[in-house]
A and B are shown apart, each in its own frame.
Chain A
Amino acid sequence: MEIVAIDQISPDQVILFAWGFVTINATIAYTWLIMGLLVIGSIAITGNLSSERTMSRWQNLLEVIVGTIRSEVGDIAKEGVDTYFPFIATLFLFILFSNLFTFIPGYVAPTSSLTTTSALAVVVFFAVPIYGISKNGILHYLKEYIQPTFIFFPFHVMGEFSRTLALAVRLFGNIMSHEKVIAILLAVTPLFFPVVMQALGLLIGLIQAYIFAILAMVYIASATQTHEETEHNPKKETEPVKI
């Protein structure tokens, strides 16, 4: 069952419902599916949480996931973990589950649509200044753009845009290309080999989710911490590296 034809590059092109400019395509539908699963699963599991020493397996799983993400965020953010944690964790979980379900026939990952990845990248693009300004104030945040001199201002601005573009395209390219590879392989060698590629796809999906979330966190951290670090950690003498 192929929802997205081999010549269609994005699930955006699969229109399910259209009314004026309102178009419900496969991307939105699968996004809602993932959202629904995440929210309903969360509600189901967190409905009867235990703070005792014994707990259900599902709670244990969630605690492991949440705890791991939290500690990863903490490693980068150093402080104010719980400010950034929900944002980063939501990015990670959404992308992760979008990617993982690709082994289900008929499912198309919303992240294989450039629209979705662009939307997520733009969210990160806005989240960085929002967190930076709320943490250090607008002046401090803007000052970062002319560090070390004002000449660097255009590079900073370009960097902001290019890294957002990179975020969007990296995720889109990986997932989309993987799906296309699977589709082509199914056509060429229908037995065994696509299964291995599917397994590889799970790994790629996990890595891409991790990369996206971690990069978002790094960007936020750079916006909130750069100034403090230069204040607290004056330049250290670095040893010359022999090549």
Chain B
Amino acid sequence: MHIDWFVFFCQIVNFLLLLFLLKKFLYGRIIGAMDAREAKITATFVDADKARESARESAEQYEKRLRDLDAQVEAAMNRAREDAEAHRKELMDKAREEVEMLQALWVETLKSERDAFLAELRQLAGTQIYSITRRVLKDLADVELEQRIVEILMERIQTMDEEERGKFRDSLTEGGTITVQSAFDIPAEERKKLDDVIRRYINGDIQVVFEKSDNVMTGYELKTDGHKIAWSIKEYLDSLEEKFYHALHEEAQEKR
């Protein structure tokens, strides 16, 4: 076991030379490449992080925008709903108004029709009742209706209470005229009878004038300047008209 000193120093030099060469050709290059790769990977990760961050931000932004849009849509829908509701209400009001107007018009028309009908009915009923009554009276009593009417008139004059009769007398001036209006011509015989009754019960010193008038309808009117007594089928007709009117009115109410 000996050490060759030349070889010993040679080996030291060899080692140092190897150290230098490897440092130059191996470690520096490899470590450089590794560091470069590491830096690249780090940069890639940093980029990825950045990209992820920006993606997250974008996603948040879009989500926010989506939420805003949803809110806007909801608001618009609510507004539209409210508008539609208001419009509906307006239309309903308008329709109701129109309906009411139409109803009023209809009621008016109905009323006028009813009035017209009632007038016609009154006329017709009056005529019919008159003819019926006349026929009835004629059939039953075998008396002319006019005669009967005159009789009734005479009867009324006779049964008139004193107060009323007084009023009548007061309205008559001396030598005045009392007018008997009737819807028909009173026969001469009846005229005479009536004249007698008037003179007897009211005043003898008057002049009795007979007139035919359509206004009286079936009946009579006994008129002085200030007072009159009347009997006419018109009263009955008025009563009939009133009842008829009520009946119609009630019917209209029910229909409404």
Chain A residues within 8 Å of B, Cβ to Cβ: 9-10, 12, 21-23, 25, 27-28, 31-32, 35, 38-39, 42-43, 46, 49-53, 55, 59, 62-63, 66-67, 70, 82, 85-87, 89-91, 93-94, 110, 113-116, 118-120, 122-123
| Contact partners of A27 in chain B: CB under 8 A | 7, 11
Main secondary structure on A side of the interface with B: helix
* Contact residues in A for B16 (Cβ distance below 8 Å): 123
Q: Does B96 contact A (CB under 8 A)?
A: no
10 extra A-B contacts, CB within 8 A, seeds A35-B21, A66-B31: A27-B7, A28-B7, A28-B14, A38-B18, A39-B21, A66-B27, A70-B31, A89-B22, A115-B11, A119-B15
A31 interface neighbour in B2, B14, B31, Cβ under 8 Å: B14
Say yes or no: is B4 at the interface (Cβ < 8 Å to chain A): yes
The CA of A110 and the CA of B4, in the complex, are separated in Å by: 13
Task: Knowing A10-B1, A23-B7, A25-B7, say if A89 contacts B14 (CB, 8 Å).
Answer: no
A123 and B15 contact, CB distance less than 8 A? yes
- B119 an interface residue at 8 Å Cβ cutoff? no
Q: Which B residue's beta carbon lies closest to that of A168? A: B3
Kindly list chain A residues whose C-beta atoms are within 8 Å of the C-beta of B31: 66, 70, 82
Chain B contact residue count (CB 8 A cutoff): 33
| Other-chain residue from A12, A49, A90 in contact with B33 (beta carbon distance below 8 A) | A49
Q: Establish whether residues A28 and B10, one from each chain, have CB atoms under 8 Å apart when the complex forms.
A: yes
Proximity string of chain B (31-60) to chain A, C-beta cutoff 8 Å, 1 when within and 0 when not:
111101100110000000000000000000
Secondary structure of the B contact surface, majority rule: helix
Q: Is the CB of A42 within 8 A of B8?
A: no
Q: A28-B7, A115-B7 are in contact. Are A94 and B30 (CB under 8 A)?
A: no
Inter-subunit contact B8/A63 (CB<8 Å): no
A-B residue pairs in contact (CB < 8 Å), sample of 10:
A21-B6, A27-B7, A27-B11, A49-B32, A53-B41, A63-B33, A63-B34, A90-B23, A115-B7, A116-B7
Cα–Cα, bound, A49→B25 (Å) = 11
Q: Please, which residues of chain A bring their CB within 8 A of the CB of B21? A: 35, 38-39, 42
* A51–B18 touching, CB < 8 Å: no
Complex CA distance for A93 and B37, rounded to whole angstroms: 24
